[in-house]
């Protein structure tokens, strides 16, 4: 009984972890988005050796487990580069770099699905490449990619739990500490699980709202 009352004291502590988790997710998703846009554009429009480097990058981040990446960056790459990184900054960076690999593929597909004639029409109006990409191609590609980016959000959210391994004070870490401190495993993990489900629900609903708001009237897709 004693452990149950102390458990209730821990609940706010666990809830606070969801803010950290959300920080990891939004940071990772944001960094990943910027990388994704940059890389997808290079992959589609640029025929430079950069493309080879990018496919190597994507291979690495899609081909290795997140936990390996976290350890590698936190314990060898960052120290070797002389970068002082906290568990939180390493986690956000790695989640972002990793998501960039996935988002670049999402966006590449979306850009590829836009008819080439859109680019042609933009050029015919007199736009240069950058104007055409930024005001014609990307706005359409982002609409097409949105459902998959929403999916990416729910994946990173759950990936972020692995960051407990570096001791980031996110949901999973706090659930674990609570379990140790109270000797009760079921409830802390159950609460953490429910919060993850809640965050998934709220996040994907938000993406659905954005999707509906951005949807081009009259069109079937996008």
Q: Which listed residue (11, 19, 120, 185) binds other proteins by CB under 8 A?
A: 120
56-68-63 Cα angle (round to 5): 35
Please tell me the distance from the alpha carbon of residue 133 to that of residue 101, in angstroms, as a whole number. Answer: 20
Our CB check for other proteins shows the closer of 34 and 121 to be: 121
**Contact status: 172 vs other proteins (CB under 8 A):** no
Site string for other proteins, 1-30 (x = CB under 8 A): ------------------------------
Judged by CB under 8 A, which stretch of 13-21, 62-70, 93-101, 113-121 contacts other proteins? 113-121
**Contact status: 47 vs other proteins (CB under 8 A):** no
Residues 6+ apart with CB under 8 A from 165: 67, 70, 71
Please tell me the distance from the alpha carbon of residue 196 to that of residue 194, in angstroms, as a whole number. Answer: 5
Please tell me the distance from the alpha carbon of residue 32 to that of residue 104, in angstroms, as a whole number. Answer: 8
**Contact status: 158 vs other proteins (CB under 8 A):** no
User: Whose CA is closest to 210, among 125, 112, 142, 113?
Assistant: 142
Which residues here bind other proteins, judged by CB under 8 A?
115, 117-118, 120-128, 131, 135-136, 139-140, 143, 216-219, 222
């Amino acid at each position: 009984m004693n452990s149950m009352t102390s458990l209730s004291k821990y609940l706010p502590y666990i809830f606070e972890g969801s803010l950290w988790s959300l920080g990891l997710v939004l940071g990772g998703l944001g960094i990943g988005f910027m990388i994704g846009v940059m890389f997808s554009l290079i992959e589609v429009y640029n025929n430079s050796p950069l493309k080879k480097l990018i496919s190597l990058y994507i291979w690495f981040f899609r081909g290795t487990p997140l936990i390996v990446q976290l350890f590698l960056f936190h314990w060898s790459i960052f120290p070797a580069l002389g970068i002082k990184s906290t568990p939180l900054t390493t986690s956000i960076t790695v989640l972002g770099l990793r998501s960039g690999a996935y988002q670049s593929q999402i966006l590449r597909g979306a850009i590829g699905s836009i008819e080439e004639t859109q680019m042609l029409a933009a050029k015919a109006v007199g736009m240069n490449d950058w104007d055409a990409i930024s005001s014609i191609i990307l706005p359409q590609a982002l609409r097409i990619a949105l459902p998959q980016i929403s999916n990416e959000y729910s994946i990173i959210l759950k990936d972020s739990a692995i960051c407990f391994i570096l001791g980031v004070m996110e949901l999973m870490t706090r659930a674990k500490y609570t379990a140790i401190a109270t000797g009760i495993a079921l409830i802390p993990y159950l609460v953490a699980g429910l919060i993850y489900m809640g965050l998934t629900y709220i996040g994907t609903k938000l993406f659905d709202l954005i999707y509906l708001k951005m949807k081009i009237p009259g069109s079937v897709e996008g």
